[in-house]
Homo-oligomer: A and B are copies of this chain.
Amino acid sequence: MNDIQFPLQGVRGLEVCLTPALLPLYNVEDFIVVIIDIFRATSSICYGIENGAEAIIPVSEVEECAAYREKGLNYLLAAERNGEVVAGFDFGNSPFAYTPEKVAGKTVVLTTTNGTHALHLSRKAKKIVIGSFLNLTALCTWLKTQNENILLVCAGWKNNFNLEDTLFAGAVVEQLKSGNYKLDDPALAANDLFQLGKDDIGLYLQKTSHGERLKKLGIEKDIAFCLQVDLTTALPILNGEKLVKL
């Protein structure tokens, strides 16, 4: 039955890159890449694109973000440090800022270290799309129609493994694995971890060090928001420097 969804092709790779530091081990040009930075960059991007943002431009540094101020009022600048909106910026990295009232028709310049890093290293991929629990099924439905190898790139934390991004990669594997894919070891592990956590992802992630760190920043509400499954249907895709709606 599942083969009906995959009429075109033989076996494709479904692989997971656990941190951007491991990206040099992959020929990204052979893959469609999905960038994953659950807390909170890719969740905010999915929500913003869903809510009508014309484009979202991810940058690494606050200064790089600030430089867009001169380009006019159609740009909204998002930057925070230690959980606070940086003075002079429009908002921080909370997905709650990306409401239709605020972002519709605008271009948001988003400061995100881990996510931007992963994105730059994936630049030669066939296509780059953005994944989060918010658009999980929309993402997977689209991936199933693509006759390409898939690489799920976890942005991680300071170039190392984190549980939340890996768990999401496992959720994508869960939706795709009945298709004709060959999974690598990280994909198998991510899917197994998802099995352990899926009944209550928030509870499962409470034990992580990163979760503790985020709690200290007072963003528990953001975390709960980012773990909502299928709140959105838009699929952000990279077009030049900008993430836009596919």
A22 touches B25 (CB 8 A): no
Question: CB of A219 within 8 A of chain B?
Answer: no
Cβ proximity bits A163-188 to B, threshold 8 Å, 1 near / 0 not:
10010000000000000001111101
B185 touches A189 (CB 8 A): no
B18 touches A161 (CB 8 A): yes
Residues in B whose Cβ lies below 8 Å from that of A188: 163, 207-208
Question: CB of A193 within 8 A of chain B?
Answer: yes
Interface residues on A, range: 20 to 34
Question: CB of A89 within 8 A of chain B?
Answer: no
How far is B157's CA from A193's CA once the two chains are assembled, in angstroms? 20
Q: How many whole Å from A192's CB to the nearest CB in chain B?
A: 5
8 Å CB contacts to B: which residues of A102-158? 157-158
Interface SS of chain A: helix
How far is B185's CA from A183's CA once the two chains are assembled, in angstroms? 22
B189 touches A209 (CB 8 A): no
Question: CB of A21 within 8 A of chain B?
Answer: yes
- CB-CB nearest in chain B for A204: B192
Residues in B whose Cβ lies below 8 Å from that of A207: 188
Known contacts A22-B161, A161-B186; 15 further A-B pairs (Cβ under 8 A): A18-B18, A18-B161, A21-B21, A21-B22, A21-B24, A22-B159, A25-B158, A25-B159, A25-B160, A160-B184, A163-B185, A183-B209, A185-B208, A189-B193, A195-B196
Question: CB of A162 within 8 A of chain B?
Answer: yes
Contact of A193 among B158, B182, B184, B193 (CB under 8 A): B193
Q: How many whole Å from A223's CB to the nearest CB in chain B?
A: 15
Q: How many whole Å from A245's CB to the nearest CB in chain B?
A: 32
Question: CB of A198 within 8 A of chain B?
Answer: no
B159 touches A185 (CB 8 A): no
Residues in B whose Cβ lies below 8 Å from that of A186: 160-161
Question: CB of A43 within 8 A of chain B?
Answer: no
B192 touches A160 (CB 8 A): no
Question: CB of A232 within 8 A of chain B?
Answer: no
Q: How many whole Å from A21's CB to the nearest CB in chain B?
A: 6
Question: CB of A93 within 8 A of chain B?
Answer: no
- CB-CB nearest in chain B for A161: B186
